[in-house]
Structure 1
């Protein structure tokens, strides 16, 4: 699957169809961690995939979010709570 940077999409369904796992036996809860939240497609796809394996997502964290507008002061950006679907 092509990356978004090279023309790939941010469609959670397409991402979900490409997710694979090795051994999730015995895992009932998980925490999701993503480096950059742009559209949320990867986070939603991972959450759907794990839910389909009967794994509950306890928390989801991202390190950074894509800024669509330049903030006045990059050191005073208000933290944001992103909804989980």
Structure 2
């Protein structure tokens, strides 16, 4: 996660010189890990039509599972939140 946030921060810093936001604000970089405040609901228009609302929610619905980092990298478990299950 630290490598991901470091790489992302480098890209944000590089892009910030060329991107003009609608509202000026200081560049807010990530720490060594994501926190709850870094997560947000993805706007519906940013995803394919018909995608279930739970997939863009801020409720956790996918997790990497495994005994070691290689197995975790290869295994993602998806669970539909109970209150979103149609059955």
**Common fold, TM-score beyond 0.5?**
no
Write 1 or 2 for the structure with the bigger share of strand.
Answer: 1
Q: Which has the larger radius of gyration?
A: 2
Shorter-chain TM-score category? under 0.3
Considering Cα pairs closer than 8 Å and 6+ residues apart, tell me whether 1 or 2 has the greater RCO: 1
Write 1 or 2 for the structure with the bigger share of helix.
Answer: 2
